[in-house]
Amino acid sequence: MGKRLNLENTIRGILLLFSTAALVILAIIVVFLFKEGLMLFQHTSVTDFLFGHKWIPAENIYGAFPFIVSTILVTLGALLISVPLGISCAVFLVEISPRWARELVRPAIELLAGIPSIIYGVFALIIVVDVLRVPFNLATGETILAASIILAIMILPIIISISQDSIDSVPRIYREGSYAMGATDWQTISKVVVPSARRGIIAGVILGCGRAIGETMAVVLVIGNVEKLPLSLLDSGETLTSAILLEMGEAVIGSLHYNALFCLGIIPFLIVLVLSMLSSRLITKRVSRFE
Amino acid sequence: MIHPNTSDKIAKIWLWLSALSIILVLLSILGYVFIMGAGSLSVSFILDMPTNNWREGGILPAIIGSLLVVIIALSFATPIGVGAAIYLTEFTKEGRLTKTVRIAADSLNAIPSIVFGLFGLAFFVFYLKDYTGGPSLLSAGLTLGFMILPTIIRTSDVAMRTVSFSEKMESYGLGATKLQTIKNIVLPEAFPGIITGIILGMGRAIGETAPIIFMVSLNPVIPKTIFGSGNTLTTQLYYLAMEGISMDVAFGTALTLITIILILNYSARKMNNYFSRNLRR
Amino acid sequence: MSKIIWLRILFLLCVIALFSGCVEDNKEEGLVIAGSTTVQPIVVKAVEVYGKNNPDLRIGVQGGGSGTGIRMVGKGSVDIGASSRELSTEEHLKNPGLVTHSIAIDCLIITLHPTNPIEDLSTQQITDIFAGKITNFKEVGGPDRRIVLVIREDGSGTRSTFENMVMNNTEVSDTALQKPANGAIRFTIAGNENTIGYLGIGYIDDTVKAISINGIPPSKENIRKGEYLLSRELYLVTDGEPTGETKKFIEFILSDEGQILVEEEGFISMR
């Protein structure tokens, strides 16, 4: 019996170790990202880095402001397209879809989530960029809008699946009450169901937002990678992530340029961490509210 | 003022259209890759070596590279992820630890893939150079293993928490130890969920480009050791498209990749349905 | 019961996978080459052919760019560095023992969309176009089209070659589209009639149009003689005079057979 307990304790110890793995890995990532990145600030001040308008590695000038603005514009553009579409689709699946349509749309969404981002990128490079150029009379179709469109498609599955869970868990009584007062389907959906599910929907949108900020491969192929400060969705731009991908291949290891690219990585890393914690808070609160 | 019934109709049309548009987007992407890639995809495309600097022949080295990288990622993430889930559900009460681990896993899951790329470069390629062989398949596989760990922890965690409490109690009541209960009741019942998680992780590992883009090489040879360099389907696709080497081979590679993802997706679904039917019986 | 068997099989597979990595032969690669992505096609092609005659030799090829290649060969982490530019004075000072071997001639060609009627630009016009002073092709005798510049990314050896030869300390306009590779530049130019960019000679095909500079067309003779403005040599870099397998491989590239491969990849041979 003693032996058995011993074995159990050993296994228990190993499993405890495993269970902290996620935490340990997160810590190692933080250490290495900051170790390489913060070296830049021996040379460039934080303000110059965050608000500088020029990025000229050959002269060791590292101002990331245009990248930050591009990232924000691309993400807003993507949300503008995917939020209405995603919520409608989630409502459709839960509230009005006949069974056959649901069996068709659900796997489609799963597949959309599974397609590798490089394939989205190649598709967007060849189709979306060309489709945009002519109607908007642009000099080039490689714009922030092109990146927003492809990102919108990529984050739709996240927004739909989380909103759908949330709408699904709105208690039946709410709907029955609304119908009992003579409301139509649409009145019930827009006045009762969606407002009650709003926490989960917001959590889904926040997660989608995080994904959009961090996406690289699809964006780098279509955004044009222009270091000038973008002023509209129809300008070309360069996001934080696309700058890293574009320049890391040729940056000399250990150089200031290399450090600066790690610094570019720290920004989306921190933003996404905050967003992820925010959304998990919203989701847990929602669950406890309905229970 | 529009009549409620009219607005109800308009709204429903909009909702149907939104669902339809998703199907259309999916079909246009899949259809496009299929039409462009079907011409070059064949058995020999998958099983042959590339010739003439990747312009002709097959893509065997990339397929083997992808396979090795995924195996390494899974053999890292599966035991640790499942083990962590066992600990969280069976050995400890809901509390600070479980909460912290779940938050950590969610955070890890949200980290942008390019940040994993930077991290892998600094940690595996340079810091652990003597153990990983620098920019090697091992470095790439471990970076991906770190990335898919949260997927496996979370899905196994959910699967184990749905194991019925009464069955566990029955097992203890028959005098089984904790380990016996885990082995005979918890793991078998949670198995479909765990497998689904592994397949999901596999799909993610095979489809990622950014985390491993700085670690691959492009010479057309079969990797003989995981301590040496190699390339994968995704990085090869990026290289083929960016260097403009051959769009035919690029789309053939893209179609191969999508086919693998489709199969994984389908088997995850089937597996889930099959097991949940069997379990309910 | 069958579920437990499944579980065992899964566990076994994991264990096998875990150990298969360690059991495989852990032999160091025979020869490692890293550096410029411009030189890479030549090296990959040479490895492909050379490897057939020397099946036992393992050769690894990695990218990383000219700067990284030179630095790695200086540190001894690779056997051969590939560079699309000469060593900088700084690199020379750091590693005085580095030896460069010219293996091919490359040339950056100013490239337009095939429908653009412009045939020739002067050096000054090119400088002004890339600096963003000239923003429409009608200012240089072409059609009324807004100019879209397509260039390589920051840090690229190709880009610094171009800027050293043409831009004379003028900054390239920040409205230029940056691409990570020659092929991506060609793809962009072929798909948009407003574009102008530069491409390595190996990447010129009928989807884009090569133009002459100062009246000198980019013919092979002009490039080999160094008359076309943007010709340059491509190098392999070793630490000290090469020996053993390194020496044999460089000799192979410089042999008649190797130089044919150089031409096959679209570059100009040394002879």
Q: For position C216, which CATH number holds?
A: 3.40.190.10
**A38 lies in some domain:** no
| A15, A138: one domain | no
Contact C177, C148 (CB under 8 A): yes
Report the residue from C6, C47, C186 with minimal CB separation from B219.
C47
**CATH number of B44-280, picked from 1.10.357.10, 1.10.3720.10, 3.40.630.10, 1.10.1040.20:** 1.10.3720.10
Residue A40 in any domain: the answer is no
**Residue ranges making up the domain that contains A161:** 47-290
Q: Are A289 and A197 in contact (CB under 8 A)?
A: no
Q: Which residues of C touch A56 (CB under 8 A)?
A: 154, 171
Question: Counting beta carbons within 10 angstroms of the beta carbon of residue B139, is it exposed (0 to 12), middle (13 to 18) or buried (19 or more)?
Answer: buried
For residue C10, the model assigns a pLDDT of 53
Query: Is residue A90 located within the same domain as residue A157?
Result: yes
ipTM score above 0.90:
yes
- pLDDT bracket for residue B245 (50, 70, 90): confident
Residues listed for chain C: 271
Taking only the tens place, the pLDDT of each residue in A2-43 is: 666 788 888 889 999 999 999 999 999 999 999 999 999 999
What global pTM score does this model have?
0.89
Give, for B51, the enclosing helix (H) or strand (E). strand B50-51
Q: Are the beta carbons of A116 and B256 closer than 8 angstroms? A: no
Q: Which pLDDT value is given to residue C23?
A: 39
Residue C1 lies in a domain: no
What pLDDT band is residue B208 in, cutting at 50, 70 and 90?
Answer: very high
Most B CBs within 10 Å, among A5, A8, A25, to test the B interface: A25
Tell me the residue type at A133. R
Contact assignment for A252 to C148 by CB distance below 8 Å: no
Q: Quick check: is A178 in a domain?
A: yes
Q: Is residue A42 part of a domain?
A: no
Q: What is the CATH number of the domain that holds A236?
A: 1.10.3720.10
C91 and C145 belong to one structural domain: no
Amino acid, single-letter form, for residue C183: G
Contact: A249, C65; criterion CB under 8 Å: yes
CB B211 within 8 A of CB B147: yes
Same domain, C110 and C212: yes
Q: Which residues of chain A does C153 touch, with a Cβ-Cβ cutoff of 8 Å?
A: 225, 246-247, 249-250
Whether A135 and A166 share a structural domain: yes
Give residue C168's domain range.
106-224
A7 and A129, same domain (yes or no):
no
Domain segments of chain B as ranges:
4-37, 44-280
Does C229 reside within a domain?
no
**Cβ pair C65, C155 in contact under 8 A:** yes
Helix A240-248 and helix B113-120, axial crossing angle in degrees, nearest 10: 40
Cβ pair C7:B225 closer than 8 A: no
Contacts of C183 in chain B (CB under 8 A): 241-245
| pLDDT of C21 strictly over 70 | no
- What was the pLDDT predicted at A218? 93
Q: Is the pLDDT of residue B41 over 90?
A: no
Phi then psi dihedrals of residue C98, to 5 deg: -70, 135
* In a domain? residue C239: yes
The residue type found at A47 is T
Partners of C146 in the beta sheet? C136
Q: How many domains does chain A have?
A: 2
Report yes or no: B245 at the C interface, CB cutoff 8 Å: yes
Tell me which residue has tokens 């800027």.
C163
Higher local confidence (pLDDT), A289 or C163 = C163
Over residues A216-227, the mean pLDDT reads 93
pLDDT on residue A290: 42
Sorting pLDDT into bands at 50, 70 and 90, what band is C9? low
Find the mean pLDDT for residues C65-91.
87
Q: What is the DSSP letter of A237?
A: B
**Highest mean pLDDT range out of A239-248, A274-283, B243-252?**
A239-248
Q: Report the mean per-residue pLDDT for chain B.
A: 88
**A97 plus A241 within the same structural domain:** yes
d(CA B118, CA A30): 11
Are both A55 and A166 inside the same structural domain?
A: yes
Q: Has residue A150 been placed in a domain?
A: yes
Label the pairing between strands C80-83 and C120-121: unpaired
- Which string of DSSP letters, residue by residue, matches A49-66? HHH---EEGGGTEE--HH
Helices (H) and strands (E) in chain B, counts: 12, 2
Classified as helix, coil or strand, A55 is strand
Q: With CB atoms and an 8 Å threshold, state whether B29 touches A101.
A: no
Chains A, B: CB pairs < 8 Å: 246
Greater confidence (C23 vs B13) lies with B13
Q: Which of B79, B113, B149 sits opposite A25 (nearest CB)?
A: B149
Tell me, yes or no, whether A160 and A278 share the same domain: yes
